[in-house]
Amino acid sequence: MASAFIHINGQNFISTLHRSNHRRPSGGPIRVTMAQKSSYWTSINDDIDAHLRRVIPIREPFSVFEPMHHLTFAAPETTAPALCIAACELVGGRRELAIAAASALHLMHAASYFHEHIPLTDQPRANSRPRPGPTFGPNIELLTGDGMIPFGLELLAKSNNQDDDDEHSDRILQVIIELTRAIGSQGVVNRQYIKAQCDESNPGVGKAGSTRIVTDKKGSELHACGAACGAILGGGKEKEIEKLRKYGFYAGTIQKMSKLEEAVKNREVIEEMRRLALKELEYFDEEKVEPISSFINV
């Protein structure tokens, strides 16, 4: 396997690190191999994909499982589930322990996406929210979205039997609290409200400022939640969970900001986010942080 070593973030990051006096204990920058980075995330994504295809096959009743299956895989990509697995592995947990939570995160993301794009009768034409790609119609997408989140949580709650560890059921409950809070009153819904209000006050605003910032925050929180859930399921200590939650928040923000049109303009902010994210990883064994740290090397 080819192993071309690179420095994460390049010179800008290193100089920021020097200025703010946050050097890694060993003094050197984190290094990952390009091939290692790519194959690590590919292998995680393949495992999540295979798990989702196994637990949501096209089966009877077709009226339920056909749209659920197709909408599961039609949702735009999110990297929060992969981060959940990587956090689990960083604290020493096996991948299987976090696969159900990662799948639940994907289903939450997909359900939220389809509900955000349901055309409602109270929306002016300029502000309607049709989404790209084939659709099953608003009615089916509303009902499928309603089913996807409980289905993801059901699979997670059922995953309790896969481990002999007595503490595992407590950890799953803790993760259910994390996920339901992220999607419920405190998290995504709150963001969606703000988004809806931005949309309403600026009909036809499309991709403009305020809406985009709200969307970013939602993505950041889903990544923070995913990393925390992975750390919990992997048996991480309280401090490890909180460090990874913060890493997830910064990492999610970096992912989103890097994809925006004005990414070049935001270069300094992104570098600062990256610095803060890597600072959270300093708490962990340097050898082990390489895979997860490559997440923010976008």
Binding site for a copy of itself (CB under 8 A): 61, 63-65, 68, 111-112, 115, 118-123, 128, 137-140, 142-151, 153-154, 157-158, 160, 169-170, 172-174, 176-177, 179-181, 183-185, 189-190, 192-194, 196-197, 200
Tokens 């509303």 found at = 142
Beta carbon nearer to a copy of itself, 6 or 118: 118
Give the residue from 197, 186, 193 showing the smallest Cα distance to 222.
186
Beta carbon nearer to a copy of itself, 150 or 206: 150
Beta carbon nearer to a copy of itself, 180 or 202: 180
Q: CA torsion, points 54, 87, 224, 292, in degrees to nearest 10?
A: -110
Tokens 């994907």 found at = 106
Beta carbon nearer to a copy of itself, 42 or 197: 197
Cα–Cα distance, 50 to 44 (Å, whole number): 10
Beta carbon nearer to a copy of itself, 122 or 285: 122
CB of 121 to a copy of itself, least distance (A): 4
CB of 258 to a copy of itself, least distance (A): 28
Give the residue from 180, 129, 136 showing the smallest Cα distance to 154.
180
CA 149 to chain centre: 15
CB of 186 to a copy of itself, least distance (A): 8
How is residue 263 written in tokens? 């990414």
Residue type, 219: G
Beta carbon nearer to a copy of itself, 68 or 296: 68
How is residue 79 written in tokens? 């990297």
Cα–Cα distance, 100 to 29 (Å, whole number): 34
Residue 5 β-bridge partners: 33
DSSP class of residue 121 equals: T
Residue 31 β-bridge partners: 7
CB of 164 to a copy of itself, least distance (A): 14
CB of 223 to a copy of itself, least distance (A): 18
Residue 32 β-bridge partners: 6
